[in-house]
Structure 1
């Protein structure tokens, strides 16, 4: 068994900007750990960390919805055009990005307003996000005792626990579909179960739980009208699988930091079979 390492004290930071949080190079986040594992690899993780990419338009709606629902995040600017075909619209969009604002076309502005209203009207999500009843986007830092890796997380929202109440960590996500089957696929394929386990480790390490086991709730919202909301708490096997993924990624990260070697895929030729479903599909299509 590996001996526990000396750890740096946990730290809770209020008011840290998202840009400063993401620019940190002394710790690793949940998204960073997920990028180390397939289909990613350490070499790609290091390149992306060292070469931050410009804002991606597909995230604009999510950022704006976060701002309206949580009250935290970058401000947005409405672009009074139906699309970005005209040069003037493109210019306004690029200026907004340069100012750190989220550009939204008129129809997108109306859409995120309707999304936020749907959350406010939801019988569970609405009260959960009541202003002044919790804290949005606190930055939490701690050291993994097994590997000595400094970790960080930034919960979207943590309602203030009632007296002797259980701490709830809330994560708000927008999605194309929020039915149970779609969410099962999204949670597994995007590693959200690993995110939940990681954030729960963070709040426990920071001493925020009051001695009780915390809960992690996903608030998923569809990006098409009527902007349905689906709250999800993962079961124990899902969190266990996520925690195991995190441990593998932490050990990879620790080894890469120690050796300075961030490997890509195999240097050898991979003997590659087709997916397990390929033969069955061919028989069905060409029989």
Structure 2
């Protein structure tokens, strides 16, 4: 089983690796691999053409993700440096240049209020009975990369765990930290569906099992609101949700294997599609007409 700190060469064997975030997202596997986020991009409402475009043209950092990334840094203790920009407005030439220089160095620029916000969020995590235990630095490591090969398709798979607990006698519990607009369980359920987090949960559990880290691991989402008082809800998905995730992941792996083999990355459709109004809309108009 492979292991390493900084990798000068491509990974060619399964294992748990400690590597920089940038290297992970560039795909460290010899011959290419598929991540959970990539698997979700292969399936509707996306398609292989979108997956390939984004793989070949990685998007630039977006300001809207800065709070989440900064909070991850403080909660996990790993990640880019946080730089406080002492200006509430970033529309002057001088501040724009300062922000650009910070980003060019790989750090995250934050306004004074945002800088305080993410520190308050991290403090709330440390005060939370369950979340503080899950991310206890004495009992695990942040940002660990799992790499393994899918047996049915031969596709190499990868996952970057927010946190990998040290080996113990009990059940392996893998926590994943998410920032959100709401920590309400109903809102979380909608977010899990919208962003395909049920696929992520199965993907990471499968990787942990494949590498012998634990049988039947538990994957927990630690969801924190980005608005004061920065409430936290810890959730575990049901078996049925994980089963759907596993079926979707299997479909994505087969699509990916076919696309790699043929070098054809299809769009949503190559034909003329016949579509109707959404069912709810048709029902609404039929009720109005009756």
Same topology, TM > 0.5? yes
Distance 1:106 1:284, change over 3 A: farther
Q: Separation in 2 of the partners of 1:283 and 1:89?
A: 56
Q: Separation in 1 of the partners of 2:110 and 2:13?
A: 41
- Residue by residue over 1:136-166, the C-alpha shift from the partner in whole angstroms, topping out at 9 and shown as x without a partner, is 111110000111000000110122244x211
RMSD, matched Cα: 1.7
Residue 21 of structure 1, CA deviation = 0.4
Distance 1:112 1:285, change over 3 A: farther
**Is structure 2 residue 79 aligned with structure 1 residue 66?**
no
- Residue by residue over 1:199-234, the C-alpha shift from the partner in whole angstroms, topping out at 9 and shown as x without a partner, is 00101111111xx32110100000100000000011
CA contact (8 A) 1:140 1:202 kept: yes
Residue in structure 2 matched with residue 217 of structure 1 by the alignment: 220
Match of 1:111 among 117, 121, 134: 117
Match of 1:265 among 257, 263, 268: 268
Structure 1 residue ranges, 4+ long, deviating more than 6 angstroms after superposition: 283-287
Match of 1:166 among 163, 166, 171: 171
- Residue by residue over 1:116-146, the C-alpha shift from the partner in whole angstroms, topping out at 9 and shown as x without a partner, is 0010000110122112210111111000011
Gaps of 5+ in 1: 1-7
Counterpart secondary structure, 2:58: coil
CA contact (8 A) 1:156 1:171 kept: yes
Tell me the TM-score normalised to structure 1 length.
Answer: 0.92
Q: Separation in 1 of the partners of 2:180 and 2:283?
A: 31
Residue in structure 2 matched with residue 4 of structure 1 by the alignment: none
Residue in structure 2 matched with residue 13 of structure 1 by the alignment: 17
Counterpart secondary structure, 1:277: helix
**Is structure 2 residue 152 aligned with structure 1 residue 146?**
yes
- Residue by residue over 1:31-82, the C-alpha shift from the partner in whole angstroms, topping out at 9 and shown as x without a partner, is 0000001111001100110111111111111110000000011111111111
CA contact (8 A) 1:10 1:205 kept: no
Residue in structure 1 matched with residue 239 of structure 2 by the alignment: 236
Match of 2:180 among 151, 160, 175: 175
Residue 86 of structure 1, CA deviation = 2.2
Gaps of 5+ in 2: 1-11
Counterpart secondary structure, 1:142: strand
CA contact (8 A) 1:28 1:151 kept: yes
Residue 90 of structure 1, CA deviation = 1.6
Count of residues paired in the alignment: 276
Residue in structure 1 matched with residue 200 of structure 2 by the alignment: 195
Distance 1:80 1:285, change over 3 A: farther
Residue 265 of structure 1, CA deviation = 1.6
**Is structure 2 residue 129 aligned with structure 1 residue 126?**
no
Q: Separation in 2 of the partners of 1:62 and 1:114?
A: 13
Match of 1:184 among 185, 189, 192: 189
CA contact (8 A) 1:70 1:136 kept: yes
Q: Separation in 2 of the partners of 1:281 and 1:120?
A: 49
